[in-house]
Chain A
Amino acid sequence: MSENNLQNHSRRKIISRIMTLLTAACTFFAIGILLLIISYIAVRGVSSLSLQFLIDTPKPVGEGGGIGNAILGSAIMTALAALIGLPLGIGAGIYLAEFGNGWFGKITRFVADTLIGVPSIIIGIFVYTLVVLPMGRQSGLAGGIALALIMIPIVARTTEEMIRLVPNSMREGALALGAPQWRVTMNIVLPAASTGIATGAMLAIARITGETAPLLFTALNSRFYNGYLDQPMASLTVQIFNYATGPFEVEHAMAWAATLILVGLILLINITVRFLTRKKF
């Protein structure tokens, strides 16, 4: 009997070891792909990187040129999208989590889930008819609106999920002190969920920073530095698309360099928000 136990024991240990190794291998595979992509981009892109490249506007092939205006354009349109999308998305998420148990909440949730799945180019066409056609031209404003529309459902759903993670006992604790519902939401639930909400917002921002398709229809592109929202605006992703589809090797090199910058920026957003939302309590 004891021998049998011993056999079982060693068998169990071997299985446990194999399973641990398997999951570790999966993890390495997942992280490995990311590292591979980043290092490949870095290797290809770093040769064309220079301060001039970060400041210059695109120039005819052979005269150098850079992505300064594209960085500015991306920043402006992402900021505009965040300005529109974050309050609307977070607000909708709060509603869904705290008050959205009726039929209206159910419909909103379904619509948001569907909207998340809609290909971004369709959002681009939608904004094209809604904003670009009446205005008569592509613009940074239209680009920002398109990006905001992509953002809202993502932010709403992650906000809702994060708020639902706040234990109900915490709400009851505040209600039992005579706190009205809105104060419970504002100063107990939201702070408790803030890290998660910020992470969702960050992921949404990172996602729209990498969007190309909706900008092709809405913001188009521009060869100049341009801060006017009613003018066509350059963006990193569309500039990468242009450089990468160009016929010359120098353009391809610049596309890699711009890609490196884009990935670096997204990484930077991630790190910054993680740093800002460290748990204090």
Chain B
Amino acid sequence: MQSKISISNLDFYYGKTQALFDISMEIPERQVVAFIGPSGCGKSTFLRTLNRMNDTIPIARAEGVVKIDGENIYAPGTDVVALRRKVGMVFQKSNPFPKSIFENVAYGIRINGLHKNKADLQERVEKALRDAALLNEVKDRLNSSAFGLSGGQQQRLCIARALAVQPEVILMDEPASALDPIATQKIEELVVELKKQYSIVIVTHNMQQASRVSDKTAFFMLGKLIEFNPTQKMFTNPDERLTEDYITGRFG
């Protein structure tokens, strides 16, 4: 299995506080990798190092190597804007722009100049919405406000928005934590569907969700990677005692 992202000896600091300790792992192409662990264990921080979203926090600092397709994204002179185009992100709380449904999806296409003409733009927006399993529900009101959608629909809109710029990796930070079971199920089905085309990393607090959608699971605690194994093994016969204790609910 070819690896899409290769992380070696990554340390991460918020000011003087170290949040991640010497993390090394390989994230495979076109599979779903789930990050689990108790709150504050650094899994979201780690996820955000993969598209350098932590750059927006002035006191944050990363040391180590993160290679995507063999290129170190922390090398000086890296084009962060191009990196983020390649590595899309879906956030915990859906964050649609104060624009219409159509313009939300079109935004990324426009700023990256991906479309040839108006018809092409229309086509790309509809394809992204279809891929995010949202088109049928919104096709009659593409020009109405994105804030009129339900929570689950807003989250799928954000997924469509991320898909529209044709990324290669999609990072999802607890994408279903604020959704009801039915909306969650839709997102999970979508994740399984999307891994045919994309490499996906998903942070989740929901152990069942990790076991349902992911191929490999990583367990974090106190900023350290405790165990990283195929999901099947992780949930039946983990190598580490800590992992077993966490998964069986003995703490956390």
Q: Do A and B bind each other?
A: yes
| Chain A residues at the B interface, C-beta cutoff of 8 Å | 101, 167, 169-180, 183, 187-188, 191-192, 280-281
Contact call A167/B111, Cβ cutoff below 8 A: no
Return the chain B residue nearest A173 by Cβ. B95
CB distance from A190 to the nearest CB of B (A): 11
Chain B residue contacts of A175, Cβ below 8 A: 53, 56, 84
Contact call B107/A281, Cβ cutoff below 8 A: no
Chain A residue contacts of B100, Cβ below 8 A: 281
Chain A residue contacts of B139, Cβ below 8 A: none
Chain B residue contacts of A170, Cβ below 8 A: 95, 97-98
Contact call A177/B88, Cβ cutoff below 8 A: yes
CB distance from B102 to the nearest CB of A (A): 12
Return the chain A residue nearest B108 by Cβ. A177
Contact A177/B107 with A170-B97, A281-B98, A281-B99 known, Cβ cut-off 8 Å: yes
Chain A residue contacts of B84, Cβ below 8 A: 175-178
Contact call B95/A177, Cβ cutoff below 8 A: no
Return the chain A residue nearest B158 by Cβ. A173
* A-B contacts, CB under 8 A, total: 73
Chain B residue contacts of A174, Cβ below 8 A: 97, 107
Tell me, in angstroms, the Cα distance from A167 to B91 when the chains sit together. 13
Tell me, in angstroms, the Cα distance from A62 to B165 when the chains sit together. 75
Other than the known A170-B95, A175-B56, what 6 A-B pairs have Cβ atoms closer than 8 Å? Answer: A172-B89, A173-B158, A175-B53, A177-B88, A179-B108, A188-B107
Contact with A along B204-222 (1 / 0, CB 8 A): 0000000000000000000
Task: Out of A167, A177, A183, name the residue touching B162 (CB < 8 Å).
Answer: A177
Contacts of B107-166 to chain A: CB distance below 8 A: 107-108, 111-112, 145-147, 158, 161-162, 165
Question: How many interface residues does B have (CB within 8 Å)?
Answer: 30
Contact call B91/A169, Cβ cutoff below 8 A: yes
Kindly list the 6 A-B residue pairs having the minimum CB-CB distance in the complex, ordered from nearest: A178-B85, A177-B108, A176-B89, A169-B95, A281-B145, A173-B95
Contact A178/B112 with A172-B53, A172-B56 known, Cβ cut-off 8 Å: yes
Chain B residue contacts of A171, Cβ below 8 A: 56
Tell me, in angstroms, the Cα distance from A177 to B82 when the chains sit together. 9
Tell me, in angstroms, the Cα distance from A172 to B56 when the chains sit together. 8
Contact call B56/A173, Cβ cutoff below 8 A: no
CB distance from A63 to the nearest CB of B (A): 57
Tell me, in angstroms, the Cα distance from A149 to B129 when the chains sit together. 49
Chain A residue contacts of B88, Cβ below 8 A: 176-177
Contact call A191/B56, Cβ cutoff below 8 A: no
Chain B CB within 10 Å — which of A175, A183, A187 has the most? A175
CB distance from B173 to the nearest CB of A (A): 10
Tell me, in angstroms, the Cα distance from A43 to B53 when the chains sit together. 61
Contact A173/B91 with A178-B84, A178-B112, A281-B100 known, Cβ cut-off 8 Å: yes
Return the chain B residue nearest A176 by Cβ. B89
CB distance from A176 to the nearest CB of B (A): 4
Return the chain B residue nearest A195 by Cβ. B98
Return the chain B residue nearest A192 by Cβ. B98
Contact with A along B178-204 (1 / 0, CB 8 A): 000000000000000000000000000
CB distance from B63 to the nearest CB of A (A): 22
Chain B CB within 10 Å — which of A167, A173, A192 has the most? A173
Contact call A178/B56, Cβ cutoff below 8 A: no
The answer to whether B93 has its CB under 8 Å from any CB of chain A is yes
Chain B residue contacts of A169, Cβ below 8 A: 91, 93, 95
Return the chain B residue nearest A279 by Cβ. B98
Tell me, in angstroms, the Cα distance from A192 to B91 when the chains sit together. 19
Tell me, in angstroms, the Cα distance from A175 to B147 when the chains sit together. 20
Contact call A191/B91, Cβ cutoff below 8 A: no
Tell me, in angstroms, the Cα distance from A169 to B58 when the chains sit together. 16
Tell me, in angstroms, the Cα distance from A180 to B83 when the chains sit together. 11
Chain B CB within 10 Å — which of A101, A178, A192, A281 has the most? A178
Contact with A along B72-110 (1 / 0, CB 8 A): 000000000111110011010101111110000001100
CB distance from B109 to the nearest CB of A (A): 9
Task: Out of B97, B98, B111, B147, name the residue touching A178 (CB < 8 Å).
Answer: B111
The answer to whether B231 has its CB under 8 Å from any CB of chain A is no
Contact call B81/A178, Cβ cutoff below 8 A: yes
Contact call B97/A179, Cβ cutoff below 8 A: no
Chain A residue contacts of B82, Cβ below 8 A: 178
Task: Out of A180, A187, A192, A281, name the residue touching B81 (CB < 8 Å).
Answer: A180
Tell me, in angstroms, the Cα distance from A187 to B93 when the chains sit together. 21
Contact A179/B81 with A171-B56, A173-B91, A281-B145 known, Cβ cut-off 8 Å: yes
The answer to whether B31 has its CB under 8 Å from any CB of chain A is no
Tell me, in angstroms, the Cα distance from A178 to B97 when the chains sit together. 15
